[in-house]
Amino acid sequence: MSEALWQKLDGRVTFAVPLLAILVLATLFALICAITLVALVSGSFPMSATDALQSIAGNPPSDMAATVVWEFRLPRALTAAMAGALLAGSGAVLQTVTRNALADPSLVGVSQGAGLAVVTVLVIYPQTPIGLRPILAFVGALAVAVLIQAIAIRRTGGATMRFILTGIGVAAFLGAVTQAMLTYGDLDRAMTALGWLAGSVHAAGWGDVQVLCISLSLLIPAMIWATRPLAALRMGPEIATGLGCAVTRDRAALIALSVALAASAVAMVGPLGFVGLIAPHLARRLARSGPGLHLALSLATGSALVAIADLIGRTAFAPIQIPAGLVTAVIGAPVFGWLLLKRQH
Amino acid sequence: MTGLRFGTGAIALAALVLAFAWHIAVGAKMIPLGTVAEALWSYDETVFDHVVIRDLRLPRALMAVAVGAGLAVAGALMQGVTRNPLADPGLLGLLAGASFAVVLGTFTGLTGPAAIPVLAAVGALAAASVVWGIASAVPGGATPMTLVLAGAVVTAFLAALTAIMLLIDETSFEALRVWLTGTLAGRPGSAGLWAMGWLALGLFIALGAARQVTALAMGDEAATGLGVDVKKLRLAILASIVALTAAAVALAGPMGFVGLVVPHMVRLVVGHDYRVIVPASAVVGATYMLLADIAARMLLAPVEISTGLITALLGAPVFVWLVRARL
């Protein structure tokens, strides 16, 4: 029993409440909180859970504990969780709009476009304020998305695979340009850019958290708007037109939304691979639901995923920090292979 | 027809010789072509330029020739045998497999001049099997698209593991970081000689099997009808591809898209006879690699960028164009 019926006005109006999905969503939130707590207590400075909670509440056991929690571990955990949510939302929207189960912002070059824009600025104008980065990333990512669409589109349809393959080619090209930029640039600046490119949250501070919060608060209303066109478009363009959806306009708006979501995450933590691919599939497997709730589930799943990936990355081989992007790639690539095998024709 | 073919062949060889001489002449200090010829024919060790040419520039040019020829022939064979215009040692995961194996070998302390090509060969073979296995298990079979997707996913996975190993072991990180982007800047030493052996073996098999690859490119049935033992031929070609890829990776690291671009250029001129395509790919591939390496050294001089970046910059648009035009 995954749904409950909720009747109003003497049974004249009935709502189907997706109990299971809501339960899963609540569990995911609890999981994210738990991971955050584990992230707060694990590391080279030993700390108990009560100490960590006390520090957050405002009466830390020592100054050292306060610094560790407030300056290092908390912003890092929050950055990981929010970036994961943004990437997962991007992947979920992109997969529904392109009706392609394999779509992922980092696979089709969108993340690399954002990455190139940010690296260019990091190397050439290192004084650029951090708040401008998402806008730059968005411009770069959008340009790449438009380019891929223009190359891959063909009137006769069947463009889904071509879309991915074109994306792989464009991603390779942009990756090479970015690498060349790093070789050319000043070594110190290049090292900053290099750490960022691996998809790492290890240097996250409150600046990143602030920018991610602003991005999320701007983009969540857009995602709420997006649930209606998404619900129509996932039936295919013909049925969506029949349902009264302006397909061309809505599709463009949704792709722009997906690009914006990916760009604002990439701008802060670098191109974290495969999160946008895995999270929506995992969410669907956890609970079947309508497009709106699925989007929310995807956000929560992506958030938990990156939080776990970062936790693994920094504890597995401590004191060496493995960037979260590498952990997500190691988890995500086999998932991609499995999705490829399961693909329906 | 034969006259035309010899004419084209002569032009290709002349281009190779010119690119070779230019490659040696270009660098931090421009050396006139006359001095280059002198250093090769009448070497005088008291002349500084001669020493530079013999010790630094000639080995690098020879490495470029070997890597370019090996990768181009490997790509041509892959495209012929799998009848897939998008086949390339990089795209189908062989380069990632080979470099992963080399890094793993360094990580576990299993290195030595003779071991590196062997490791690279084992890695390339394993990656090729996994990619082929995934692609043939996909509903619809091993189409060019599924092969490239499987190759991309295996590459992503191995690249992440490679990066993790390099982070854990900082000493090998320093040594291998540049090598992993595909570069000709290193000094090959005795490992280079071993790699050359593998290259010669691969080229030998490739040239011997070229005639039958033409038949195989028409389809398995047609090839069997023409008297080709398809299974045996496939194994021989696979051995050749693995040997060539291993040699190229051992010499210069993963160098993407060379095996994709060169055979397509060659086919535009010489048609579809693999007896011509294989040697022509070797010559054109060597020239292409020499020119790419010249660009890598000249483009942002005095800074040198990795040659693998140049081949990716040139090759990725060709790949996108092939996806658009052929699929």
Contacts of A315 in chain B (CB under 8 A): none
Indicate which of B145, B305, B323, B326 best probes the interface with A, i.e. most A CBs within 10 Å of its own CB: B323
CA distance A322 to chain B (A): 6
What is the pLDDT, as a whole number, of residue B25?
Answer: 85
User: Does A324 reach chain B within 8 Å, measured CB to CB?
Assistant: no
pLDDT at A66 over 60: yes
Between A319 and A138, the higher pLDDT residue: A138
**How far is CA A291 from its chain centroid?**
17
Q: What is the pLDDT of residue A309?
A: 92
Cβ–Cβ below 8 Å for A180 and B305: yes
Q: In angstroms, what separates the C-alpha of B148 from chain A's closest C-alpha?
A: 8
Put simply, whether A316 touches B (Cβ < 8 Å) is: no
Gap from B151 CA to chain A (nearest CA, Å): 10
Measured between CA atoms, how close is B142 to chain A, in angstroms? 11
Q: How confident is the model at residue A345 (pLDDT cuts 50, 70, 90)?
A: very low
B302 touches chain A (CB under 8 A): no
Give the C-alpha separation, B82 to B238, whole Å. Answer: 11
How far, in Å, CA of B285 to CA of B271, rounded? Answer: 17
Contacts of A165 in chain B (CB under 8 A): 86, 145, 148-149, 323, 327
Please answer yes or no on whether B154 and A273 come within 8 Å at the CB atom: no
**Cross-chain Cβ contact B138/A161 below 8 Å:** no
Give the Cα separation of A36 and A39 in Å (integer): 5
Residue A330 contacts B where some CB pair is shorter than 8 Å: yes
Using the CB atoms, write b or e for B36-49: b if 16+ within 10 Å.
Answer: bebbeeeeeeeeeb
Q: How many whole angstroms separate alpha carbon A193 and alpha carbon A102? A: 28
pLDDT given for residue A118 in this prediction: 85
Q: Which residues of chain B have pLDDT under 70?
A: 1-4, 170-175, 186-190, 327
Q: Which residue of B has its CA nearest to A179?
A: B309
Q: What is the pTM of this model?
A: 0.85
- Please report which confidence band the pLDDT of residue A186 belongs to, taking 50, 70 and 90 as the band edges: low
pLDDT at A1: 46
Report yes or no for ipTM above 0.90: no
Residue B152 is encoded by which pair of tokens? Answer: 């991309």
Cβ contact A170–B316 (<8 Å): yes
Task: Report the pLDDT averaged over residues A85-110.
Answer: 86
pLDDT value of residue A185: 62
Q: Do B313 and A326 touch (CB under 8 A)?
A: no
What DSSP state is assigned to residue B299? Answer: T
